[in-house]
Amino acid sequence: MSNEEEFYDAVTGLDSDESYEGLSEASFKDALVFDGTSQKNNGSVPQENGIKKHRTSLPAPMYSRNTISVWSILKKCIGLELSKITMPIAFNEPLSFLQRITEYMEHTYLINKACSLSDSIERMQAVAAFAVSAVASQWDRTGKPFNPLLGETYELIREEQGFRLVSEQVSHHPPVSAFHAESLTGDFVFHGSIYPKLKFWGKSVEAEPKGTITLELLKHNEAYTWSNPYCCVHNIILGKLWIEQYGTVEITNHSTGDKCVLCFKPCGMFGKELHKVEGYIHDKNKKKLCVIYGKWTECIWSVDPQAYETHKKSEKKDNKKQKNEEPEGAENDDADDMPEVQETVSVIPGSTLLWRIDSRPAHSAVMYNFTNFAMSLNELEPGMEAILAPTDCRFRPDIRAMENGDMDQASREKERLEEKQRAARKDRAKNDDEWSTRWFQLGNNLYTGSQDWIYSGGYFNRNYQDLPDIY
């Protein structure tokens, strides 16, 4: 077997003697590299310095939401879950929630860094930075991803980042999305099941994090678990939409007993805490080993606890001098004004930079505020149809139509798919049939003991027979 054949087998999990009837060698190679750019060059995927290039733009800019009013829809939903409420498609973004959670992998280099470190505390720092970076793409992302259909899947292979991922919508009510990512070199496994609860509170929509995220560093025989912070989108009815993340994220190293407790701070009265993240790494005896601080929209640093406390005392003295100069907060019954906090993170002397956010493309504002990574998630290359599962998000006609700027078609297709899903559910109930998941099974998380959806394997064997017709 050639090195090239070994590489393709390693990436896809395929055996070399598997048959690909009707698929040319060039199409096969293009299909395997199935997260490529939409610009073709003589049938091959464009590369730059040996790294495959991905598309950096969507086919059409986003639809203006300024003319849409949702008050008539939401006024009866205050305090209720929104999973069963049909929202105007103009408030969506052209990605499925399965693709949205794939954005956890944008900063996979932090996992690879953790794998390479010999010190367990340094590994925890890298894992903490990764946990924060996983929510960074939500900054200014006020569009709602499409709810995945039951049985919908998504896969992504990124050779340059060294991972492959598969996800499946394993439940519709409640909506649960399960994912499993693994290193192409066998260094890590990253998996979880997410089922956020959305509630409308008059001016805002709050997403309560549900589900456990697990990262296993196989070389070090370590496993880390955590849950995401709360996310709130303000000014759903009136005013400029803006997002804040808040709540406590506790990362546990189940091998050493070390923990990292991060506080995502709410913005507060004058916005001084907006986007801030602060916390400690401590050992199993509660001894503080280092401090983590920064902003989830900008950067994360670590520093010695003593240096941090000294800095804090100095900061308190300065704040006392300014306290009497603070203006009183004005009450605004119409909108929750976003605090105009422009200052960057104040770096404490002796700190170590753990992570810094990547800049977004210049046209991001008219492309749903997507990052470069998000921009490439729904691209569909010629030849990919022959290799992807027919349940993959890229085949959803409503998302595809919205991405292409055809909002009327997107709305019609969304309604058709939802009706088709309801009809299928009624047929199963009539025949006493239970839905069977394909790639994930309900079980228990090995480390927390809590109920979790566990990848049962086999997806990358490319045996996609008997999959449901959901589109």
Q: Which residue, among 7, 29, 9, has the nearest Cα to 18 in the 3D structure?
A: 9
User: How far is CA 455 from each of CA 165, 182, 215, rounded to the nearest angstrom?
Assistant: 11, 11, 14
User: How far is CA 284 from each of CA 5, 413, 443, 448, rounded to the nearest angstrom?
Assistant: 47, 53, 28, 16
The residues with which 278 forms a beta bridge, in sequence order, are 263, 293
Token duo for residue 383: 């030849």
| Reported confidence tier of residue 70, pLDDT bands at 50, 70, 90 | low
- Which 3 state secondary structure label does DSSP give 277? strand
pLDDT of 325 higher than 50:
yes
What is the Cα–Cα distance from 398 to 404, expressed in whole angstroms? 10
DSSP assignment of 113-163: HHHH-S-HHHHHHHHHHHHHHHHHTTTT--SEEEPPPTT-EEEEEETTTTE
Q: What is the largest CA-CA distance in the chain?
A: 77
Task: Give the pairing of strands 242-253 and 440-444.
Answer: unpaired
For 195-258, list the strands marked E by DSSP: 197-200, 204-208, 213-217, 222-226, 230-234, 242-253
What is the Cα–Cα distance from 298 to 200, expressed in whole angstroms? 28
Domain range annotation of the chain: 3-58+66-319+341-461
What mean pLDDT is reported for the chain? 83
Angle separating helix axes 3-12 and 25-32, nearest 10 degrees = 50
What's the pLDDT score for residue 437?
95
Tell me which of 128-137, 248-257, 264-273, 455-464 is least confident: 264-273
Asked if 251 contacts 124 with a C-beta cutoff of 8 angstroms, the reply is yes
Asked if 225 contacts 254 with a C-beta cutoff of 8 angstroms, the reply is yes
Burial class (CB within 10 angstroms; exposed 0-12, middle 13-18, buried 19+) of 305: middle
| Residues 194-238 pLDDT 10s | 987 877 776 778 888 788 999 999 999 999 999 988 888 887 777
pTM > 0.85: yes or no = no
What is the Cα–Cα distance from 269 to 263, expressed in whole angstroms? 17
pLDDT of 43 higher than 50:
no
How many other CB atoms are there within 10 angstroms of residue 53's CB atom?
15
Give the helix/strand (H/E) hosting 414: helix 407-430
Helices and strands (DSSP H and E) totals, the chain: 10, 21
Mean pLDDT of 155-172: 96
What's the pLDDT score for residue 28?
32
State the number of CA atoms in the 13 A half-sphere of 241 facing the CB.
Answer: 19
What is the Cα–Cα distance from 288 to 376, expressed in whole angstroms? 41
User: Which residues lie closer than 8 Å to 280 by C-beta, 6 or more apart?
Assistant: 260, 261, 288, 289, 290, 291, 292, 305
| Greater pLDDT, 320 or 411 | 411
What is the Cα–Cα distance from 459 to 52, expressed in whole angstroms? 24
pLDDT of 121 higher than 90:
yes
| Sequence-ordered alpha helix ranges (H) in 166-322 | 305-322
Amino acid identity at 69: S
Backbone CA torsion sign across 16, 17, 23, 24 = positive
| Reported confidence tier of residue 82, pLDDT bands at 50, 70, 90 | low
| Residues 457-466 pLDDT 10s | 999 999 998 8
Q: Of the segments 58-62, 78-82, 380-384, which one has the largest average pLDDT value?
A: 58-62
User: How far is CA 82 from each of CA 73, 174, 175, 199, rounded to the nearest angstrom?
Assistant: 11, 11, 11, 6
Q: How far does the chain reach from its first CA to its final CA, in angstroms?
A: 38
| Residues 371-382 pLDDT 10s | 999 999 999 888
DSSP assignment of 331-375: P-SS--PPP-------PPTT-EEEEEPPPPPTTGGGTTT--HHHH
| Residues 353-409 pLDDT 10s | 999 999 999 999 999 999 999 999 999 888 889 999 999 999 999 999 999 999 999
> Phi and psi (nearest 5°) for 8?
-60, -40
Q: What is 3-58+66-319+341-461's CATH topology?
A: Porin (2.40.160)
- Determine if the peptide bond prior to 174 is cis (ω within 30°): yes
pLDDT of 283 higher than 80:
yes
Q: What is the DSSP secondary structure assignment for residue 216, as one 8-state letter?
A: E
| Residues 344-357 pLDDT 10s | 788 999 999 999 99
